Amino acid sequence: MIISDVQLGDGLSFEIFQAINNIKPIIMVTAYHQYAVRAFKENSVDYLLKPVTKEKLHLAIQKFQYSRIKGLDIEGILKGYLFNKKTY
């Protein structure tokens, strides 16, 4: 998980995520509401507007943890389906 501010001193954090082909979940923290849609396209779990309270950050981290636990094992499901075919 990455917690990142949208606007950095030398540009936007989106440029970094694209350059490294980021696949890790991100919690975006910013004072700018206009980047919310783009943040979710960059694998964002939550988008927090400043000032961020301890409670909001805690909820965002819980959201991340919950989504990781509840994620489906698609590959495992497909393997199970492919190897357990029954003939009728």
pTM over 0.85: no
Print the domain residue range for 49: 2-83
> What is the count of structural domains for the chain?
1
Residue 8, helix vs strand vs coil: strand
Provide the H-helix boundaries in the chain. Answer: 13-19, 36-41, 54-69, 74-83
Q: Is residue 8 a part of any domain in this protein? A: yes
pLDDT of residue 88: 45
pLDDT at 85: 53
Judge whether 18 lies within some domain. Answer: yes
37 within some domain: yes
Query: What CATH number is given to the structural domain containing 58?
Result: 3.40.50.2300
How far apart (Å, rounded) are the C-alpha atoms in residues 48 and 46? Answer: 6
pLDDT attached to residue 4: 56
- Give CA angle at 30 (67, 5), nearest 5°: 75
88 domain residue, yes or no: no
Q: What is the pLDDT of residues 31-84, one digit of tens each?
A: 888 888 888 877 888 999 989 888 999 899 888 888 765 555 556 655 665 565
